[in-house]
């Protein structure tokens, strides 16, 4: 099974009862043979441009493990799902993710050393 990232933009009118469209998206993923590793609701955000005459959407991010034939099934199903304005399904870039984690760790250690230097000056 390969790792994927899925970001779904859900219709803003469904924000009140968000669990219903999310359940539908989860069922699409599991019926294709996938499993959800992580789910993160980013909340309602303004869109850069209108999609289906909507200015806002609720962003939900998923990390998935999918078999090789599942991305095509998920894509074709999400294309016809009314609750979903847009989606993006991409494979996980392990090299990029590792480089990002290393950069964060390096930034953290450099900021800690700067704060230690400032304490020494006082």
- Specify the pLDDT at position 114: 64
- Specify the pLDDT at position 116: 57
Q: What percent of the chain has pLDDT over 90?
A: 67
4 to 13, 64, 110: CA distances (angstroms):
27, 5, 32
What is the C-alpha separation between 95 and 99, in angstroms, rounded? 6
Cα 32 from chain centroid (whole Å): 18
pLDDT band of residue 86 (cuts 50, 70, 90) is: very high
Residues present in the chain in total: 122
Q: What percent of the chain has pLDDT over 70?
A: 91
Q: What is the pLDDT of residues 95-121, one digit of tens each?
A: 877 888 888 888 888 877 666 555 555
What is the C-alpha separation between 96 and 102, in angstroms, rounded? 10
- Specify the pLDDT at position 119: 56
CB atoms within 10 A of CB 33: 15
Residue 99 is classified by DSSP as H
Q: Is the pLDDT of residue 55 over 60?
A: yes
């Amino acid at each position: 099974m390969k790792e994927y990232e899925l970001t779904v933009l859900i219709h803003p009118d469904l924000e009140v009862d968000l669990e219903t469209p999310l359940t539908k998206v989860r069922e699409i993923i599991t019926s294709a043979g996938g499993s959800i590793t992580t789910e993160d609701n980013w909340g309602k955000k303004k869109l850069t441009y209108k999609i289906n005459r909507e200015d806002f959407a609720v962003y939900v991010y998923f990390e998935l493990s999918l078999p090789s034939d599942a991305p095509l099934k998920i894509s074709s199903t999400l294309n016809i799902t009314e609750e979903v304005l847009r989606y993006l399904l991409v494979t996980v870039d392990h090299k990029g993710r590792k480089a990002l984690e290393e950069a964060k760790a390096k930034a953290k250690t450099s900021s800690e050393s700067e704060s230690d230097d400032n304490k020494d000056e006082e």
